[in-house]
Amino acid sequence: MSLVKISGLHKYFGSNHVLKGIDLDVAQGDVIALIGRSGSGKSTLLRTINGLETIDKGELVVDGTALHDGKGDLRALRQKVGMVFQQFNLFPHLTAGQNVMLAPTVVKGISKRDAEDIAREMLLKVGLSDKFNSFPDQLSGGQQQRVAIARALAMQPKVLLCDEITSALDPELVSEVLAVVRQLATEGMTLIMVTHEMRFARDVGNKLIFMHHGLIHESGDPKAVFANPQTPELANFVGAVQMA
């Protein structure tokens, strides 16, 4: 029984056919790394999974909530799908704690007191229990990104989408964010991440998906795929990024 099931998904930006029929099954607890060149459609695919991009054709089902050809209950879908962005996107006028509390109180109608408990628990989980009252501009990039992860987790999503979440960070801050993601993975969180951290994808992921020209070009166990790419495109890509 798959948690996320995508079938025959097509997406156009105007006349540009970005996703050309994606089929993907994600099981509970899967940690999926989406890799590929810029423009291959990996971020677009990720963003369709919580409705940030509309779907022109095809079906998306997340834990029983379905979109047929892009139509369905988007808000129900989004309550099941958390998302962490490259640019953190914290709300600058709210403290770290308030950032985490906002959606549970506003969307789920949880009381302020209970939401605060959730927020403290989530901030503790990402190692920032002492930053509850800090504003985003008082935090480092790595800390902001961990707050963003806590904010997504506070909605208790079934699956967490990570869109190049370390790409905007200074190199020395990458590991603290990856450590949090690794922890989530070992706790059984279902993760789909677009990443350029190939070593991380190999070590933490249980499935690697290589996208090329809007299609899943090659996929499988990350270690096997990296060690033995079956297509010249992936071999080329792995060769280009491996050393970096």
Partner 1 sequence: MAYQFDFTPVLDNAGLLLTGAGFTLALTAVGAVFGIGLGVLGAVCRAWKLAPFDRLFGLYVEVIRNTPFLVQLFFIFFGLPSLGVKMTEWQAAVLAMVINLGAYSTEIIRAGIQATPRGQLEAAESLAMTRTQTFKHVVLRPALAKVWPALTSQVIIVMLGSAVCSQIATEELTFAANFIQSRSFRAFETYFVTTAIYFVMALLIRQLLIQLGQRVVVGRAR
Side-chain-facing half-sphere of 49: CA atoms under 13 Å: 32
Asked whether position 191 contacts partner 1 by CB under 8 A, the answer is no
Contact residue for partner 1 among 6, 22, 62, 81 (CB under 8 A) = 81
Residues 150-179, interacting with partner 1 (CB under 8 A)? 151-152, 155
The CA distance from 237 to 199, in Å, is 14
Give the pair of three-digit tokens for residue 136: 């985003």
Which residue type, as a one-letter code, is found at position 116?
Answer: E
Contact residue for partner 1 among 17, 28, 52, 230 (CB under 8 A) = 52
Strand 159-163 relative to strand 16-27: parallel, antiparallel, unpaired? unpaired
Beta-ladder partners of 216:
211
Size of the site for partner 1 (CB under 8 A): 26
| Binding map of partner 1 across residues 10-49, x = CB under 8 A, - = no contact | ----------------------------------------
The position carrying tokens 């408990």 is 117
Contact residues for 56 (Cβ-Cβ < 8 A; gap 6+): 10, 11, 12, 69, 70
User: Minimum distance between the CB of residue 88 and partner 1, rounded to whole angstroms?
Assistant: 8
Contact residue for partner 1 among 28, 87, 175, 206 (CB under 8 A) = 87
User: Minimum distance between the CB of residue 76 and partner 1, rounded to whole angstroms?
Assistant: 8
Distances 136 to 84, 95, 173, 179 between C-alpha atoms, Å = 15, 7, 16, 20
Nearer to partner 1 (CB atom), residue 40 or residue 144: 144
Q: Which residues bind partner 1 (CB under 8 A)?
A: 50-52, 75-76, 78-79, 81-83, 85, 87, 89-93, 102-103, 106-107, 135, 148, 151-152, 155
